[in-house]
Structures are given as C-alpha cells and as structure tokens.
Amino acid sequence: MLMPSIDTLLPHAGRMRLIDRIVSYDEQRIVCESDSHRAAEHPLADGGTLSIVAGLEYGAQAMAIHGGLLAAMTQPQRNRARHGFLVAASDLRWFVERLDACAAPLTIEAVSELRSDHQVAYRFEIRAADLTLLTGRASVWLDAPQGR
C-alpha cells in the first residue's frame, strides 16, 4: 500500500506542517523525523529562539499523522484529516531549553495509549541523535468544531 502524503494527514499547512518524514509506523506507534526546528523563520519561534515547549506541537503532529495513517488503512474513502483540540498534556519532562540549538534532525516517536471515536491519548518522545530532548503524554479531542 502506498503511504499517503503527510499533507493529506494533517490539517496543518505551509510552515506549520512541522514533520518532514515518516520513518516507520504500525498500529500502536509512529516514528517521524523533522529538520524544521532549525528554520530561521520557524512559526513557533520567539525572537529567533525555539523553546523546548514547541516540542509538544511536534508530538501532537506525529499523533495526528498516526491517526491519519490508521484511518487511511481502515477508512480509505476518508479524504480529509480529522480536526482535534489538544485537551491535556502531562508528564512533560525536558532535558534541554531550546530545540533550535539541536544540530541533528529531530526524531519524534508517539505510542498510542488510548483510541476511541472522539479521543486519543499518546505518550511521546523527541530525540536528536542519541539525546532525549522531551518526553510526555498528550490527549486530543477529535472532530471538535473548527474555529473561525
């Protein structure tokens, strides 16, 4: 089966699509990579600094891509990414202050802990080379009304 384009799996577009590549996935987990953390005009940077807190968005996008891949396998007629709201982030532990200071590509791994019709929960880890940068858990409410 051909892997769908990341652009079809995320509601994000342009510079806000932070994930560059899908490395691997199965029913429970996904591993992605990104080089976007080093972009001079990163959309989440403040004064040229990309805080480790932005790693939560990288984790959330990996979760969304995983959900889209699973939906494409089970519901191939679905032609849009599901919208959702991040409703909880917990157990966040960071080991660096900035993402933009990491020279290596980011590896983002997300492991499903809960899936239902309207909610997903994952634990995630972000690494650069062999260094763990951020770990945590996140929950998303799916098909939430879209803002204007």
Q: Tell me, which fold does domain 6-142 have in CATH? A: Thiol Ester Dehydrase; Chain A (3.10.129)
Instruction: Read off the pLDDT of each residue in 127-143 and give the average, rounded to a whole number.
Output: 95
Note the Cα 46 to chain centre separation in Å.
20
Between residues 125 and 73, which one has the greater pLDDT? Answer: 125
pLDDT digits (tens, 9 = 90+) for 61-120: 999 999 989 887 777 665 556 678 899 999 999 999 999 999 999 999 999 999 998 899
- Residue 128, amino acid: A
Residues 6+ apart with CB under 8 A from 1: 73
> Would the CA dihedral through 61, 38, 21, 9 be positive or negative?
positive
pLDDT-derived band at 33, boundaries 50, 70, 90: very high
| Residue 12: predicted pLDDT | 79
